[in-house]
A and B are shown apart, each in its own frame.
Chain A
Amino acid sequence: MTTKLLEARGITFGYGHNAEILTGWDATFSAGEVVAITGPSGRGKSTLLYLLGLMLKPGAGQVLIEGADVAGLADARRAALRASRFGFVFQDAALDATRTVLDNVIETALYRGEPREGAKRRALELMGQFGVDLRASHKPGQVSGGQAQRIALCRALLNNPRILLADEPTGNLDPASATIVVDAMRNQAHGGGTVVVATHDPALVARCDRVITL
């Protein structure tokens, strides 16, 4: 029996006075699978990802983590869940250009209230696995796009999250870097997590276990 890690039930969402982007949307994401969310631009792929990641509140419906509805929680509780249960990868890596690569990777430790030294050790291990450990003291501006996305992946995996959400993670990458990122996401799923990816990339879609088209 598969474990349901993340569920959306009847989610409805729209921006301001615009028409609703999502209406009564349902989906389940289980342990061990990588799910691609695909579709034309403007259909709400990123919006859905941010709703599942508790960054947005749905107008109606529920978001459940391991069976518990968390969509309606207060900001501080949802922020704590984002920091502890989720890992996020964004299209442009979204690193802080003014801080070192290592500081970027351990950023979420502060939000979890986790000791810095332990986070540093784990971050350097992860960075070693992804071949960016020698860049620890560099600034993000001094690394390539592929390295930046691997650094962002290290940041997302620092707390070994059971839910990994990725928004166009291979959008700006060369094929070799894209393969490293996709392999890492598959490993995370096979380790008992679930990975949800919003993407246009056919190569990435082809390596996902399931595809949801909006």
Chain B
Amino acid sequence: MNALRRLLAIIRESMASARSQPVASVVSIIMVAGMCATVLLTTGRTVGAEQAVLGSIDSAGTRAVVVRAEAGAGLNTAVLQRLANVDGIEWAGAFGTAHDVQNAAFEGGTRVPVRLAYGDKVNQLTGSLPVPNSSALASKLALEQLGMADEVGGVLSDTGADYAITGRIDVPDYLQFLEPLVIVPQDEAANATSVPVSVLVVIAARPDLVAPVSQAVISVLAVDDVSKVKLSTSESLAKLRALVEGQLGSFGRNLVVVIFALTAVLVAAILYGLVMLRRKDFGRRRALGASQGLIVGLLLTQMVVLSIIGAVVGSVGAAIGLVSTGDPLPGWDFFSAVGILAVITGLVAALIPALAAARRDPLKELRVP
């Protein structure tokens, strides 16, 4: 409790000290705000563009490995158990042969394909459903074609099987090729048996793992007839992605380092000048009982408070600037990282001036000239 009270007292004193020197405080805030805004408007813009480009590449299924098997190929759900032992896989699922279904509520509706879906990770997309092996989820496109505005209803297949549509599924990029999509997730018991499937989708954890994961997938397929299996990957896209990420990322990092270093030097110079102007103040504080640690703590706390204000002002200003020019925003993570780095830069820049302030000689400063 005492430590908390003392911390609050130090923060209050630091803020009072900052208020008592409005010009120096405003200059410090402007420096940090300028640093954040410059980084966000240059590197942030680049990062935003990079993320947009990477997003476009990713939407093409950069990390996907897709295996299509014709009837009689011998691809079955046992492959999922073998893939569970392979590192570098983020997601894997298998889908049975498509059967056409139509809305059970009326005759002559549009037919859409339904597929049984296998694999533990299918649940990541669907969640648990009320009736295992009978509940189905449909994509927005499939629901429109089925005429199910309420996103629930029954469907009948050509084979006589019926399923209950219990909701909508947001189709991830890597399953877009299956649209219009209606899937019936299968329970664990079904997953344990070797059921023939026609499509296997494997998502590598990173774009650079697409090639090795593809090799691993080929090695564990264990099909009867290799000529009836076709594997497609996006390795070339993954290479392009790595190239884009590497070049733009490197440019951005170098720019950030230069901007932060320059600002740190400027902030340190301003604070050192401020300490020199206030040397009598620090001498008095030392004489009256402030330890060197407390003087350093007061100045660093003051700079942290000013840096936080500056980081918020700079980030908000840059965000408004980016939005008004129609540029993509770099994302919350990037904003946070720049803000935290700005505060750390302010703290580091204040360290030498703070140490100088703490070492002021009371006798020298308090003697009347």
Contacts and interface: CB of A to CB of B under 8 A. Distances in A.
Interface of A: 46-47, 50, 53, 55-56, 75-76, 79-84, 86, 88, 90-92, 94, 96, 98-99, 103, 107-108, 110-113, 115-116, 155, 167-168, 171
Given A75-B292, A76-B292, A110-B13, A82 B287 contact: yes
A80 B10 CA distance: 16
A96 B281 contact: yes
Contacts of B253: none
B294 A79 contact: yes
B286 A79 contact: yes
Interface of B: 2, 5-6, 9-10, 12-13, 16, 20-21, 280-281, 284-294, 362-363, 366-368
Contact of A82 (B9, B280, B289): B289
B9 A116 contact: yes
A46 B291 contact: no
B289 A80 contact: yes
Contacts, number: 81
A80 B291 CA distance: 7
5 contacts: A50-B363, A81-B289, A91-B368, A99-B20, A115-B5
B287 A103 contact: no
Nearest to A79: B291
The secondary structure that dominates the B interface is helix
A74 B198 CA distance: 78
Given A91-B367, A99-B16, 20 more contacts: A46-B363, A46-B367, A47-B363, A50-B287, A55-B286, A55-B287, A79-B286, A80-B289, A81-B289, A82-B287, A83-B290, A86-B289, A90-B287, A91-B368, A94-B366, A96-B20, A96-B284, A99-B20, A107-B285, A168-B368
A76 B368 contact: no
A96 B287 CA distance: 13
Given A79-B294, A91-B368, A110 B9 contact: yes
A166 to B, nearest CB: 12
A154 to B, nearest CB: 13
Contacts of B5: 113, 115
Nearest to B283: A94
B366 A90 contact: yes
